Structure formats: structure tokens, C-alpha cells
Amino acid sequence: MSDGAAHYNPDDFAKLRPVEDTHFWFVGRNNILAAALGTVTVDASGPKSVLEIGCGTGNTLRVLRESLPKATLIGMDAFHAGLLHARSRTDARLVEGRIENMPFCRRFALIGMFDVLEHIEDEAAALHSIRRSLEPDGRLILTVPAGPALWSRYDEESQHQRRYTVRHLRKVLSAAQFHVEYVTHFMSLIYPAVWISRRLEGCLSALSRRRAEPRQAAIERELHLPRVVNNVFRELLRLEIPAVKRRYRLPLGTSILAIARP
């Protein structure tokens, strides 16, 4: 898409919704977001106006509401299919809109964008748009997938444009005139297992191509893990929560969290 809009298949919302409450990745990310939100201080009473860009099924809107119960909360997504799911999960106002043409006449104290930036072709334009939508003392909190070395068929099926390094994320945030307050990897303890699985996936995909055999969709495979594996990963990721609450920086992980101000 040449207009810099988000690359995403709205049919994936229906695949995500049934697993978000139990899958280690969604549970782990929500725990990290709750820990990080507890460290954000816009003013003494907390941010009064909060926007989530790319709210999808409303999974992370629930974390924003629980962490910031007094805030005016709005969820925006470019795809109506996601908002249909979100409607039953949150009391937030829901708006269909695109980041390159923000449908608001107001600014926000806090903007969240969770695993959305990697879908956007023109990341710089998206961040400039967000900056214009923030109050002067506002905050942006975002997460992105980490590690170009982890690139796989899952990223391709998910229509990711890139995976990030901390250096790259700092660079694009700075170019959009953001000042990074805090940045860290997370999902660190599962990194070795994910790295190995991505290497094996590459080998198996190559073998299947040679044999002209069909392969299970990568998204379906990663969303439906054996229960034991899912439970072990979920408990491991809980160990990262205290580090984020103290704003410690984890040196490695499959995702990156950043908090920045204009």
C-alpha cells in the first residue's frame, strides 16, 4: 500500500478473540502494560484523556480501563471488524479511524499503541501524527515486536513491515521529536525458545516447499500451543513484572516497550 496505511487482515480478529484471555503472549503483554502504566505520571491525578490507536478487539482497552479508571477512554481502529469485538469488552468510546487522518479535534494526555507500529508502512508519518495529537506534557506508550533475527513466516502472515531493535525504535521516536523516557525489552525469558522455534520453522518451510507439501498457517500454529507450554510461558513472563514496575531495562526479549513524551 503506497499511502502508508496499516497492513492488516481484519479476518485475524476472529482468530485472536477466542485465545486472548489465556494465551501466554496476550496475558504477558497485558501484565507488562499494567506494570508500565503504573509508572506513567502526566499529572498528580493521572492522565484524564486516553486514546488507544489500533485497539482491535478491545483486549488492551481493558488494561487501560483497569489501570486508569477515572480517565476518559477512547479506542480507535481502522477496521470495523475489530470494533465489533471490542464493543462487548469495554465501556470505552469506540471510533473507526485511521492514524494518517485522526478524527479528533482534541489532544490526549496519553496515547497507547500496542503492536501496531510494525504494521504501518510509513512509521515516521504515524509518529508525527501521534505527536500532534498529544498534549504538551502527554505521554506515548507503545509496544513493538523485537529482533530482526526472529523474522519468520508468522511476521509475513501478520503483514508486519519490520521487527525492531531498541536503537531503531529510539531513532524513529527521536526523528518524530519524542523524548524517550523508558525503553526495555520484555518477554525475555522465552527468547531462547522462540529463537529456536523460528529457526526450526525456517527449515521445515524449506523442506515443505521442496516436497510441495502444504503447511499449517503460522498464525494458527502460534495461537494454539500445547496447554503445558502455554502455562509454563505464562508463568515465566510474570517474573518480568517487578523489573518493569521499577523501570529496569531488560537487555533481550521478543518485544520492546517504550514510553516517550513530546
CA distance 61 to 80: 16
Strands 93-96 and 108-114: unpaired
> What are the cell numbers at 110?
496519553
In angstroms, the Cα distances linking 139 to 41, 99, 134, 195, 204 are: 9, 17, 7, 32, 43
Give the residue from 91, 104, 82 showing the smallest Cα distance to 14.
Answer: 82
Task: Please state which CATH number belongs to domain 12-261.
Answer: 3.40.50.150
In angstroms, the Cα distances linking 136 to 38, 42, 85, 130, 231 are: 20, 10, 33, 12, 42
> Tens place of pLDDT for every residue, the chain, 262 residues?
334 557 899 999 999 999 999 999 999 999 999 999 999 876 656 788 999 999 999 999 999 999 999 999 999 999 999 999 999 999 999 999 999 889 998 999 999 999 999 999 999 999 999 999 999 999 999 999 999 999 998 999 999 999 999 999 999 999 999 999 999 999 999 999 999 988 887 655 554 454 444 455 788 888 999 999 999 999 999 999 999 999 999 999 999 999 999 9
CA distance 99 to 115: 14
SS3 167: helix
CA distance 161 to 159: 6
CA distance 217 to 43: 46
Q: Are 133 and 139 within 8 A, CB to CB? A: no
- Using a cut of 0.85, tell me whether the model's pTM lies above it: yes
Burial grade of 6 (CB within 10 A; 0-12, 13-18, 19 or more): buried
Residue 237 identity (one-letter amino acid): L
> What are the cell numbers at 73?
477512554
